[in-house]
């Protein structure tokens, strides 16, 4: 039984906040550059569908991630829906300045709880990363802009293996001490499994009741939805997901995309949860992706439609019926 006294299998109208990361975590991996106007239109479609939070772009160096070189224009030109938080990934002070100037609602800062992964991915030691991000936190606080910190490899590192919970929680505490109130526990390369997710989520929520925790899963080993349900059972109510199931990790060969937004919403709605999202609009947005990126998307909902997407009977059905009745 979960904290609310329901089983996880009965949503009973409980609110789950869906946070879209496809525009950033998804598109940054794509070879095809998605035109700026198409990014803006896609973000507007996601806003209209009712997403609680949208990670719009990344204010990284355009040479580092050319796919998102239009960050300022996109963030400035999107239509803002009241009730949706527009966030962006910010690696450093320069990125934070650009994000704040572009009216970003929240800065999302990233570092890894794995020393090896942090060095390989961010080219810095963990202490160097923390010192740089601490400066960004101060800048954001001065500008009265919210901060979320996404901690990578919380459920395991592809180079080190398991990361001790004491190490994970040590980094959470250091950011909480800086005044950060939003923390994302990231399963960067799809190593999380439901038992572990439940245990870690419950422990984090019990230790920091004032912190807004988000869970970020990848579906690399087919456990994405199971991990979402395990986290809900432990009291979590915020999840990153990616339209169409786009995304991956450049430093984790074979890592598949993030859990798929429309797959998660589809399942949660069937189970009686309130995801606050119009599924038909979400699926319609996902169906735009193949034309924009030049290939199919992993989403099973795009491929098969929702559960009650019914199919016509065979063309010769009446003849079949007649033959059956004539027997």
Q: Token digits for 203?
A: 């422990």
* Three-state DSSP class for residue 312: coil
User: Which residue in 227, 279, 275, 242 sits closest to 16, CA to CA?
Assistant: 275
State the pLDDT at residue 100: 98
Catalytic residue, candidates 43, 153, 157, 249: 249
What contacts 310, CB < 8 A, 6 or more positions away? none
State the pLDDT at residue 255: 55
User: Which residue in 180, 116, 178, 123 sits closest to 153, CA to CA?
Assistant: 116
249 is catalytic: yes
State the pLDDT at residue 6: 74
Residues of the chain with pLDDT under 70: 1-5, 248-255
CA–CA separation, 183 vs 217, rounded Å?
A: 14
The full set of domain ranges for the chain reads 17-326
State the pLDDT at residue 2: 45
State the pLDDT at residue 172: 98
Fold of 17-326: TIM Barrel (3.20.20)
State the pLDDT at residue 256: 72
State the pLDDT at residue 257: 84
State the pLDDT at residue 58: 98
pLDDT digits (tens, 9 = 90+) for 290-317: 999 998 999 999 999 999 999 999 999 9
């Amino acid at each position: 039984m979960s904290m609310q006294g329901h089983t996880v299998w009965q949503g009973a109208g409980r609110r789950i906040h869906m946070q879209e990361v496809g525009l950033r975590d998804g598109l940054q991996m794509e070879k095809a550059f998605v035109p700026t106007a198409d990014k803006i239109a896609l973000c507007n479609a996601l806003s209209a569908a009712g997403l609680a939070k949208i990670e719009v772009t990344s204010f990284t160096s355009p040479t580092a991630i050319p796919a998102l070189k239009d960050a300022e224009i996109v963030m400035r030109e999107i239509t803002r829906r009241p009730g949706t938080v527009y966030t962006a990934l910010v690696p450093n002070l320069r990125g934070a300045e650009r994000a704040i100037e572009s009216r970003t609602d929240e800065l999302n800062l990233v570092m890894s709880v794995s020393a090896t992964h942090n060095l390989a991915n961010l080219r810095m030691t963990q202490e160097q990363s923390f010192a740089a991000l601490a400066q960004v936190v101060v800048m954001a606080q001065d500008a009265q802009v919210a901060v979320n910190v996404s901690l990578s490899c919380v459920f395991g590192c592809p180079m080190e293996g398991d990361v001790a919970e004491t190490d994970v929680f040590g980094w959470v505490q250091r950011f909480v001490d800086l005044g950060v109130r939003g923390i994302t526990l990231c399963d960067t390369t799809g190593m999380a499994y439901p038992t572990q997710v439940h245990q870690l989520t419950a422990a984090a929520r019990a230790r920091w009741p004032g912190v807004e925790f988000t869970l970020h899963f990848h579906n690399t080993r087919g456990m994405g939805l199971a991990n979402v349900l395990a986290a809900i059972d432990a009291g979590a109510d915020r999840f990153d997901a990616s339209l169409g199931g786009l995304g991956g990790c450049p430093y984790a060969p074979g890592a598949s995309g993030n859990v798929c937004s429309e797959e998660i919403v589809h399942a949660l709605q069937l189970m009686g949860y309130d995801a606050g999202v119009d599924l038909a609009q979400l699926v319609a947005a996902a169906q735009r992706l193949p034309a924009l990126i030049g290939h199919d998307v992993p989403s099973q909902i795009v491929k098969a439609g929702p559960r009650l997407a019914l199919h016509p009977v065979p063309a010769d059905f009446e003849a079949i019926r007649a033959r059956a009745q004539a027997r």
